[in-house]
Structures are given as structure tokens and as C-alpha cells.
Amino acid sequence: MSSISPFVAIRRDLHKIPELGFQEFKTQQYLLRYIHTLPQERLEIKTWKTGIFVKVKGTAPRKMIGYRTDIDGLPIKEETGLPYSSEHEGNMHACGHDMHMSIALGVLTYFANHPIQDDLLFIFQPAEEGPGGAKPMLESDIMQTWKPDMIIALHIAPEYPVGTIATKEGLLFANTSELFIDLKGKGGHAAFPHLANDMVVAACALVTQLQSIVARNVDPLDSAVITIGKISGGTVQNVIAERARLEGTIRTLSVDAMKKVKERIEAMVNGIKIAYQCETEIDYGAMYHQVYNDPQLTAEFIQFAESYPEMQLIRCKEAMTGEDFGYMLAEIPGFMFWLGVDSPYGLHHAKLAPNEAAIDRAIAFLTSYISWKGNNG
């Protein structure tokens, strides 16, 4: 049996213990145990809720470079059949955060042993999938004290082959918002619908109406997506449902489009309230700022990547993906890029199985870029 690299082994360990946002207790302990095995001379370690900050002191610092990874999993039942599948029933690292963490540890390991001129800050951020950890972590006293001058992050991309990265200047990921709509009517016997107020019927009408917003209320040259991913209502087949709940997401490429979409949702829900004589409530849950790559830093990064022989750079288009790293980029110049992992199944799929060969290649690439940037840039 061929041996695997230590960071692939770490990824498999982390893959077994996916935890939801702000519940990453085992994950935090695993990360801390590993970090404490590194040379400590230049490290300062601080925890924040279930997250971790690690500062690597430079030899002659002029600035601080931040590197952020997310650490949480998703409430998805894994179907990969891998020998290192999730041991936490109903949870899975289906968005690649196990890959992200192992890469971050690999880069941290290198710089703990090979310090550069500039200070580095490694940020192990909880709750990216929800309710959102980037904004409160950014606002924490620790990060306001250790505030990087620039910050970078990556996200795995199943559609790209191993050995490729993809990014662009400016807008990379969309503005996103969760969407929860509750309807309350009057339950009753299925034989007497005229004495009840059926919220399943109201919910179905609302879902159909919501789909008209993008087609008829958003500028065709802009982009928006409204997805209702879950509908729940009723208790049994012969009882008219008193309550129904719609759960979904909104994604837009512009702030103005997000505002317009929400205005139209609120108008339609109010219409349902009147037409179906029911009570309604809207909750937008977690809202993520767009990921906007700093043009100058990203152009410089692209130039570096194009000269790096072991990695192919793809200039991609913006995506409707949501990422709370956008909050950090709104305050700190930096960028995010896609890392190709060549999986036939996409993000948030129960069978997502990234190619682990991407881990060591990403570590080598990032250590090269950060070394160059931290010694020269």
C-alpha cells in the first residue's frame, strides 16, 4: 500500500469529524493539537469561539499577510462510501473545508519552520456555511489588533482539474442571503376545506410567484437567483395544513438587485397574506457580502501564477456562489481563488470526493507565492 502525505492524512482525519457552525469543538481541538506540535518560537496562538488565530512573527516585518480557511461542515448525509467517511451521522464536509484546513496547516507548517520578513496571520474561521463566522471574527478584538494589510483564501472547485487555479479581478462571488418564509392559516379536516385555511396551497402559490421576480423584476443585464430548496407543511395526509414554511436562498451580482429582489418578495408575501387570509413572517437569516477581489493585488497574483510552472491559471467568470469571506475583503484588500480538485460531484453533494493530489500542490504553490510576497512584495 502506497503511503500518503501527512496533509492528506490530516484531511482524512478532519473529514471524519464534520461539525456545524460554531459547534466545531472536535475540529478546533484537532487543529490546536497539531499547531502545538510546530516550532513555537515565532507563533502566537489565540482562540475565538470555535475558531483560531495563529500569528507567525516575521524576521523584519513591514506588513502582515492574512490567510483564511473555513472549518465547518454541512448537515448532509455522506454517500461517498470512503473508508474515512464522516463519523458524525448526518454531517459531512461536502464543501471541501477539510481540504481547506489541511492546506492551511501545510502552509502554516512551512512558515513556522521557514519564517519570512513579513508577519503572517492564519485564520481558522468557523461557521462559513451559517450562521456566518467571518463578520464577527473580523470584528473581534483579536483581529482588530492583528489586522492584516492584505488577506487571501481559496475554495475548492470540483469542475477544474488538479493543477489549475481560477480567479479574476473584481467581483468573484455573489451577494447572498438566506430566505425563510412562514405561513400560518387554520387547520382542519380534509373533508371540510371550506372551514379551514390551507397553507400548503398558499405555499405552492407563493413558490410559483417567486419565480417571476428574476424574469420580470431584475435587469436582464444583471443576474439574480431565487431558490426554494425546502418546503414543509402539515402533519398527516387527511388534515389540512395550518402551517407551512419555505426555506431558500437569494443570490445577486449587485447590491441593487438584492434590494429589488427583497422588495418584491415582501410585496408577494404580503399579497399571499391578503389573498389567503393568513399570517406571514419573513426571515433573511445569514446574509453574505459579495466577494470582490482587489484588482491590483489580484492582477499581481495572476501574473505570479502564470509564471509558476506547476500550476495553470484560468481567468474565470464570476459565480453565484456565496462566501462570507466577502466581509473580510470589504475591509481588507485581498482576493480569493478557486483550486481545481477534479470531482465528478459538485459542492454540497453527498458524493463529493475531491482529488487529494490537489492538497500538496496547493501547499507548494501558496508557500511559494506568500514567500515571494512576504519577502519582496
Return binding residues for Mn(2+).
95, 97, 129, 155, 348
Q: What Rg value do the Cα atoms of the chain yield, rounded?
A: 23
Q: Which of 19, 72, 119, 129 is catalytic?
A: 129
Determine the Cα–Cα distance for residues 222 and 253; give it in Å rounded to an integer.
7
Q: Are 229 and 247 in contact (CB under 8 A)?
A: yes
Q: What is the largest CA-CA distance in the chain?
A: 79
Q: Are 105 and 34 in contact (CB under 8 A)?
A: yes
Q: Which of 24, 70, 119, 198 is catalytic?
A: 70
Q: Which amino acid is at 3?
A: S
Residue 44 catalytic? Answer: no
Q: Are 48 and 63 in contact (CB under 8 A)?
A: no
Helix (H, G, I), strand (E, B) or coil at 126: coil
Q: How far apart are the first and last CA of the chain?
A: 43
Q: H-type helices in the chain, by residue range?
A: 6-15, 25-35, 97-113, 134-139, 141-145, 199-217, 255-275, 295-307, 325-331, 357-375
Determine the Cα–Cα distance for residues 340 and 356; give it in Å rounded to an integer.
10
Give the DSSP per-residue string, 282-315: EE---EE--EEE-HHHHHHHHHHHHH-TT-EEEE
Nearest Cα to Cα of residue 148 among 225, 242, 70, 53: 53
Give, in degrees to the nearest 5, the angle at Cα 313 between 346 and 98: 40
Q: Phi/psi of residue 21, each to 5°?
A: -55, 130
Known binding residues:
95, 97, 129, 155, 348
Q: Are 103 and 6 in contact (CB under 8 A)?
A: no
Residue 70 catalytic? Answer: yes
Cα separations (Å) of 39 from 34, 35, 60, 115?
A: 11, 9, 19, 11
Q: Which three cell numbers stand for residue 91?
A: 454531517
In the beta sheet, which residues pair with residue 171?
292
Which residues are catalytically annotated?
70, 129
